[in-house]
Structure 1
Amino acid sequence: MKPYRTLLAHECITPSDASYRIVHELTQTLKNRNIDVLTASHDPINLFDSDAGLSAVLVSWTLPQAELLIHQIRNKNLSVPIFLLIEKEEAQDLSTEILKLVSELVWIFEDSSHFIAGRIEASMVNYRKTILGPMASALIDFNSTHEYSWHTPGHAGGTAFQKSPAGREFWDYFGENLFRSDLSISVGELGSLLDHSGPIGESEKYSARVFGADRTYTVTNGSSTANRIIWTACVARGQRALVDRNCHKSNEQGLTLTGAIPQYLMPTRNRYGIIGPIPLKNLEKESLMRNGKPSHCVITNSTYDGLIYQVEKVLDLLAGTVDRIHFDEAWYGYARFHPLYKNRYAMRGTPAQSNTDSPTLFATHSTHKLLAALSQASFIHVRDGLNAIDHNRFNESFMMHASTSPFYPIIASNDITTSMMDGPGGEALMEESIREAILFRQMVTRIWREYDSTQDWFFQTWNPTHIQETFFEKVPVEELVKNAHYWELKPGETWHGFDYDAGYCMLDPIKVSVLSPGIRLDGSLDIHGFPACLLTAYLDSQGIQVEKTNDFSILFLFSLGVTHAKWSTLLHHLMEFKRLFDENAPLSVAIPALSKHYPSLGLQDLARPMMQHLIQTDFMKVQHEAFSILPSMNRIPAEAYQALLRNEIERVSLKEAQGRIAATGLVPYPPGIPMIMPGEEIGTLQDPWLGYLAALESWDQNFPGFSHDIHGIEFENGCYKLSVLR
């Protein structure tokens, strides 16, 4: 266990002050107990904020800002011990409110330093035990007993790795604690993920309370599996399901696994190819019930580009249409923890406030994506309502997909994520992310406006350029942090390019799309611009990895791990790219990895033919049509998959695919949304789907180093190949 650390916040004192000897003696006594003491007399809150490892805070009541400091700490952390150092005559000045906020009063001239230090240390030990959550705490306690392992896994706490050179390198890289934490279901002290017992079960109950669910299930192989668990728990073969066409391929796989008959809910796109929510008119009962009552509905919230629903409106429209609604919130697990997102996520309110006549709700969260869990960690949250599925039935599906040998650090990381988001600390973390995203947006907008005033170009962030009559960058940050109204897509505003009812759709500020020049407000292309992939290639050469690149936008995620320094570096490279582009810098200088493909070209020399290609192929229009028009469904996805299993398929070129039926989904990345589902008719090269694929193929042939990633397509000998049914 690392040494404990405490913060001592006191006024500047000198050896002549009466309290000097007492404070000095207490500090030394704490250090003798292996407790590090950080001292601050000026701005102690910054020191507290910068060190999450503090296990106690000692505050001198004579510190001028003592009362403010105590309030600031409690606004972020309800449980860290606060000891108020006070003299007897000062006690009458203490308000009831302060007495409620502090953990103990320390009478510095009455108790001995050894007694005070003992009280502080005991509180620190107890605090450390309470902050971890039940599973993480039990895992750490178990490892501290150093038991011999006679069960799986075979590396036996890492011992096996130390028997070979390669294994030793592996051991040295990760460290002993990781291997000691890689345990087996045989360790009864930790409970079972499959039975939801012991500390693992308590951890799931804890997460259900914090995330607002009736029940929560920890899933150790991602939200893709979490989605499939829900599908196989809810939908029987031949039942109808409403499926957001803007869905992850794991929901496509849910259709395949269950044999469900899909009825697709079509979202819309804007001129940038940014995907929006399903319009309200597409959720009306009359159209959704035309083939009978569906058994299930899945909706992606938020969209991949950060557009989020007013969930109350969705539920009002779907009431009476479907009894179970599944919100795929893989990228949106943080919404409950900041008031900016109120009523825009599935588990809003509390289970006690839910109406039992409302649909049963499911939400999947990838806690590793924008919260702080390890990769593959995810949750399924359940809020019971109509036609609810009890735990025993649901768990049959859970066990079908779960491993009997889960990785315990992943489970523990879900526990830690829950602890981090519990109470005011979660809101403080989210507020910091939102604030940093807004500051970045405002800085980019300010620079863009400065260049724009001289008819020059710069990048923009995708958000309003004005809030009412005020420049976006001049709106107080506090206003933008607190008011969801400023982030709503209002009817008639040109910046977003969608047509939604007022209040229905909101832009999530922490999902920042940076726009490259090249596309006008009317959707036409400007030959003087450049596609966003060029910027992405440059950023990659500078060690900056982006989340997603569209044709003229790049998505940056302002997660809990983003700092001011991190986005300042990004901003510097945006400005540096502008300088290089304006100078038509050789690719050998700007993006050296591309110079082998384009040895004699500069940035502008490459951008110009790229833009010409997009204009000549009418790329943006074809793309819009490909994702806005549904292909005809010849057979359901499950039937197409059965044909694939029987090898009743063949690999063909795009030209040969005309008039054929897709054997697998065709899913362009990003963002991983099916354009054609298994069993759908592909059409001809004059139809939007093959036409769009032909445009992508032509691009990949002409611009090596910028090829597209499309699930279901292989680039063979310079041509696209796909699988169709015989």
Structure 2
Amino acid sequence: MPKSKNEPQDRRVDHFFSFPGARADRWRALHAAARDWARNRSDQAAVRGEFDELGRYEEFFAYPGRKLLATLRQRIDGGQAGAAAALARRISEAILTRSYKADPDDWDSAEMAAETQPDLNTPTMARGQRNRPYFEMLLVAPGAAKRGDSLIEQIRRLRRPEDVFIYETVPVGSFEEAICAAILNPTLAAVTLYEGFAHESSADVPVLRDFLASAGFDAASVADDDLTLALADVIHRIRPELDIYLLSDRHVERIAGDPRAAKIRRVLYSVEELLELHLCVLEGVSDRFRTPFFDNLKKYAMRPISTFHALPIARGKSVFKSDWIRDMGEFYGLNIFLAESSATTGGLDSLLEPTGNIKEAQEMAARAFGADHVFFVTNGTSTSNKMVHQALVAPGDIVLLDRNCHKSHHYGLVLAGGQPLYIDAFPMTEYSMYGAVPLSSIKKALLDLKAEGRLDRAKMVDLTNCTFDGHIYNTRRVMEECLAIKPDLVFLWDEAWFGFARWSPFLRPRTAMGAAEAIEKWIADPASVEAYEAQQKQLGKNPSAAKLMETRLVPDPRKVRLRVYQTNSTHKSMSALRQGSMLLVKDIDFGEVEAQFHEAVFTHASTSPNQQLIASLDVARRQMELEGYGLVANAIEIALDIRKEINGHPVISKYFRVLGADEMVPAEYRHAGFVDFLTPGVDWEDQVRSMHEDEFCLDPTRMTLVCGTAGFDGTQFKKMLADDYDIQLNKTSRNSVLLQSNINNTRSDVANLIRVLLEICNGIEKDLARGGENGRATFAARVKSLMEDVPDLPNFSHFHDAFRWDAGKKTVEGDMRSAFYSAYYAEGCEYLPLDSPEVDQRLKKGPEMISANFVIPYPPGFPIMVPGQVVTKETIDFMRKLDVKEIHGFERDKGLKLIRPDHAKDHVRK
């Protein structure tokens, strides 16, 4: 642990985010130093230095514990090189393999015979498996530095054979130490607070202290009498999944009734027996561990059931008794068939109208994700998005929509009859991709509608957060400024790729639910009215649109109707099966739309949902509540490691690089001045400030890898990685591919990626050496074609007048639904080959060409044409320069499908 603020290299973003995961590395470093000492390759001082580095933060973890650490220190100070190396190895291996969670011998500080004459090459095997899930409880108590061992033993004596879980205690004595432990220790599942603990840590943790202050988690401004409840509030802000208990010897009834104690699960009288606390802690973890639907599905699978319904595969008899498809049963195993049923009784439940364990599982998911309601969806987030549109948007309603969002939003509006008012994201032409939609564009669209007297028609703002390429909105600011213009706007945030962010305190505020919670709290604060009134006084009566555009608007908290919907592709970032999705709701007016929302569910959800998908959603929630914090921290660490290794490698960086935040987000949207995670001189304070202030941030787990500088287009490189190296990825652009780290990745994956990239780079260099001057010229021309000769990105043009029957003059919304169904009439459509002279003739002289359908090239994966849109030269030029094979909605043999202008008026809504 660095000792002062004068060591900027240790304040880097990657150093801080890798802190929990790098713990095993530091123990291996200590073991290596001790081993070299035992072999006379190093000295005692080097080992002591490594141990001192560990000692500054090991108090925040239950293992190895004070006794083992004291024993190790004694061996180092006593010059026992071999014994110190053996114990360091045993602790290091236990941390790496996590065997200490199951093997009581790992906690034993007694010297064993094997340690007297250590075999430095043979790993210690774990013994005595307990087979009980393990967690740790943070215990914040006065004098914990002296009483720690006593507190640990008191809690250990409460264990019983019938306990389902086993846990160890992490005692700390101050506010600062408690926050440090909550940040650094992903194994924590519960927190117990004794009143009377100190403000500041006595330990030497300057970097963490600086971080707490910059993130607003420090104790400096908290009064003594508020310290306990303030700590509960801060811990809940950092890790809302943790159960918090408070032990007091005062009037516990009064404390329990304090509104500030709402984050505390239970207030206990501290002079009572500790067994009550022990039982509460186990019950709290058990409550999160329980998976209502999955638990019942397992019981159902064990029952001898005869099925007389239309699902022959249920129970597996048609599979395992078959001579021809038995291999499918052998591949998947018996349980998947035993757990199949089309029944909704007998211990199961109906996804369409849940009243039992599915309902309970959804309520638990709502608690976990900070929503009022959660709906499980087994048709993917495409269906979740369509459900929201159908439930909330009526024909003629205007929806402000990112033109580059997922196609499900566009099709959802076709089905609902809503009119899209497309707003364009900022372009990243060099990489053939778009970013996110600037707030100024959203505000301008709303103010234009207001100026035309049509603001009442605006129903929803629909945006993607984060985008495919990792752009994260300042969700709170977007919603607050929009609500200042229209207080009852509905917000749909498509967070298909961002569901994991709930479990990171750094990313959570930028999620829809995280921002909604903050706005909800702000509305309840009397100071919010004062802030609104002060701004109104400053703006004066009837401020101009220009004045409103340049002002960070404050909504009227007395008028705001907070209505936020968030869709998560749970399968994209959590341990759910493919197509598993959740729809999160925080809508103060949900009671008024609940009936129509259920109608939307009935419309889009299958009446035969897959049981395994539902169960996986239930289990995904359990996992994230109990270990999501550590898993997400590891995913961020993995991503930063990939960035560092690729961009810093002397060979790989010649041909590949991961784009920094400064290359992905224009400077005008990075007001805090943040450059990139790994830029020299940038530290985690800059990152924290950026997350609080900037209009757009970059999700660190999403990495745009430029491959055009290696002579590969994105599609070609993606195919080569999959076919030749068994490395899979998804999204590509003209000259890049997207790498994503998630809770499934390990450092072995990183090592394999780096090995493969180096092999490819070495191959390039060999080819260039063999090819001589001509080969180098050909390579340079290929790189130039990919990196410089890129087509301009077309923005949305406008809807044809025939489909703007009630639109305003300033805004570009249109009746896309009518245009979509106009294409159903063959006599009203025409086809024009893309390269035909007639296309160029009509671009110059008319009549206008009207797209009959969605045209979506992959990449970049967004619709460059929508039904009813006027086709412009920019769009035609872009299509002609595209060298991709997959273009949805376009048949190259037939050409562009267009609506005949003279027929367009026949099918519009009158």
Q: Deviations over 1:310-367 (max 9, x none)?
A: 1111012210435211001111111111011142110016767474824300000000
Structure 1 residue 674: Cα displacement: 1.3
Letter in 2 for 1:516: C
Provide the C-alpha distance between the structure 1 equivalents of 2:782 and 2:499, rounded to a whole number of angstroms. Answer: 38
Which of 820, 825, 838 does residue 646 from structure 1 map onto?
A: 825
Q: Is the 8 A contact 2:475 2:515 kept in 1?
A: no
Structure 1 residue 267: Cα displacement: 0.7
Provide the C-alpha distance between the structure 1 equivalents of 2:383 and 2:679, rounded to a whole number of angstroms. Answer: 44
Match of 1:32 in 2: none
Letter in 2 for 1:463: G
After TM superposition, the structure 1 = structure 2 runs for residues 27-426 of structure 1, keeping only pairs within 5 Å, are: 47=94, 50=97, 58=104, 63=109, 80=134, 98=152, 104-105=157-158, 118-119=161-162, 131-270=289-428, 271-284=430-443, 285-289=446-450, 290=452, 291-293=454-456, 294-319=458-483, 320-321=485-486, 323-348=489-514, 353=521, 355=523, 357-385=560-588, 389-423=592-626, 425-426=627-628
Which of 843, 853, 875 does residue 689 from structure 1 map onto?
A: 875
After TM superposition, the structure 1 = structure 2 runs for residues 572-591 of structure 1, keeping only pairs within 5 Å, are: 572-584=755-767
Structure 1 residue 168: Cα displacement: 0.7
Provide the C-alpha distance between the structure 2 equivalents of 1:41 and 1:130, rounded to a whole number of angstroms. Answer: 35
Q: Is the 8 A contact 1:268 1:628 kept in 2?
A: no
Letter in 2 for 1:297: V
Provide the C-alpha distance between the structure 1 equivalents of 2:287 and 2:299, rounded to a whole number of angstroms. Answer: 10
1:162–1:675 CA distance, 2 compared to 1 (3 A): same
Match of 1:672 in 2: 861
Provide the C-alpha distance between the structure 2 equivalents of 1:192 and 1:44, rounded to a whole number of angstroms. Answer: 49
2:514 aligns to what SS in structure 1? coil
Provide the C-alpha distance between the structure 1 equivalents of 2:418 and 2:110, rounded to a whole number of angstroms. Answer: 67
Match of 1:459 in 2: 656
2:509 aligns to what SS in structure 1? coil
1:470–1:151 CA distance, 2 compared to 1 (3 A): closer
Structure 1 residue 245: Cα displacement: 1.3
Query: Identity of aligned pairs, percent?
Result: 25
Q: Is the 8 A contact 2:464 2:494 kept in 1?
A: yes
1:568 aligns to what SS in structure 2? helix
Tell me which moved more, 295-304 or 634-643. Answer: 634-643
Provide the C-alpha distance between the structure 1 equivalents of 2:849 and 2:674, rounded to a whole number of angstroms. Answer: 54
Provide the C-alpha distance between the structure 1 equivalents of 2:760 and 2:150, rounded to a whole number of angstroms. Answer: 57
Q: Deviations over 1:282-312 (max 9, x none)?
A: 1214135344330122111111100101111
Q: Is the 8 A contact 2:466 2:472 kept in 1?
A: yes
Q: Is the 8 A contact 1:213 1:350 kept in 2?
A: no
Match of 2:746 in 1: 563
1:422 aligns to what SS in structure 2? helix
Q: Is the 8 A contact 2:800 2:850 kept in 1?
A: no
Letter in 2 for 1:436: I
After TM superposition, the structure 1 = structure 2 runs for residues 585-600 of structure 1, keeping only pairs within 5 Å, are: none
Matched, 1:427 2:585: no
Letter in 2 for 1:712: G
Provide the C-alpha distance between the structure 2 equivalents of 1:388 and 1:607, rounded to a whole number of angstroms. Answer: 62
2:728 aligns to what SS in structure 1? coil
1:233–1:473 CA distance, 2 compared to 1 (3 A): closer
2:472 aligns to what SS in structure 1? strand
Matched, 1:504 2:695: yes
Structure 1 residue 128: Cα displacement: 8.5
Q: Deviations over 1:481-511 (max 9, x none)?
A: x86347669xxxxxxxxxxxx6111010000
Between the two proteins, the alignment pairs up a number of residues equal to: 600
Match of 2:16 in 1: none
Match of 1:551 in 2: 734
1:627–1:235 CA distance, 2 compared to 1 (3 A): same
Q: Is the 8 A contact 2:476 2:515 kept in 1?
A: no
Provide the C-alpha distance between the structure 1 equivalents of 2:339 and 2:851, rounded to a whole number of angstroms. Answer: 45
Q: Which has the higher helix share?
A: 2
Match of 1:499 in 2: none
Q: Is the 8 A contact 1:634 1:681 kept in 2?
A: no
Provide the C-alpha distance between the structure 1 equivalents of 2:708 and 2:634, rounded to a whole number of angstroms. Answer: 30
Provide the C-alpha distance between the structure 2 equivalents of 1:462 and 1:274, rounded to a whole number of angstroms. Answer: 13
Provide the C-alpha distance between the structure 2 equivalents of 1:392 and 1:97, rounded to a whole number of angstroms. Answer: 53
Q: Is the 8 A contact 1:535 1:577 kept in 2?
A: no
Q: Deviations over 1:77-117 (max 9, x none)?
A: x973679xxxxxxxx965575368x56546xxxxxxxxx7x
Provide the C-alpha distance between the structure 2 equivalents of 1:451 and 1:227, rounded to a whole number of angstroms. Answer: 44
Structure 1 residue 44: Cα displacement: 5.4
2:615 aligns to what SS in structure 1? helix
Q: Deviations over 1:226-255 (max 9, x none)?
A: 000000001111121111112110001011
Q: Deviations over 1:555-579 (max 9, x none)?
A: 0110111111112111111112112
Q: Is the 8 A contact 1:580 1:603 kept in 2?
A: no
Match of 1:441 in 2: 643
Match of 1:627 in 2: 795
Structure 1 residue 631: Cα displacement: 6.4
Q: Is the 8 A contact 1:212 1:349 kept in 2?
A: no
1:57–1:346 CA distance, 2 compared to 1 (3 A): farther
1:143–1:317 CA distance, 2 compared to 1 (3 A): same
Q: Deviations over 1:403-451 (max 9, x none)?
A: 111001100111111111115x21111000001111111111211xx45
RMSD between superposed Cα atoms in Å: 3.9
1:419 aligns to what SS in structure 2? helix
1:318–1:303 CA distance, 2 compared to 1 (3 A): same
1:96–1:487 CA distance, 2 compared to 1 (3 A): farther
Q: Is the 8 A contact 1:59 1:82 kept in 2?
A: no
Q: Is the 8 A contact 2:798 2:870 kept in 1?
A: no
1:547–1:103 CA distance, 2 compared to 1 (3 A): farther
Structure 1 residue 141: Cα displacement: 1.9
Match of 1:495 in 2: none
Letter in 2 for 1:639: S
Provide the C-alpha distance between the structure 2 equivalents of 1:200 and 1:586, rounded to a whole number of angstroms. Answer: 63
Q: Is the 8 A contact 2:492 2:564 kept in 1?
A: yes
Structure 1 residue 652: Cα displacement: 3.1
Letter in 1 for 2:720: Y
1:488–1:323 CA distance, 2 compared to 1 (3 A): closer
Letter in 2 for 1:313: R
Letter in 2 for 1:570: L
Q: Is the 8 A contact 1:256 1:637 kept in 2?
A: yes
1:335 aligns to what SS in structure 2? helix
Structure 1 residue 154: Cα displacement: 1.8
TM-score, normalised to structure 2's length?
0.60
Structure 1 residue 57: Cα displacement: 6.3
Match of 1:515 in 2: 706
1:713 aligns to what SS in structure 2? coil
Q: Deviations over 1:597-623 (max 9, x none)?
A: xxxxx99687556456568xx853x33
1:619–1:225 CA distance, 2 compared to 1 (3 A): farther
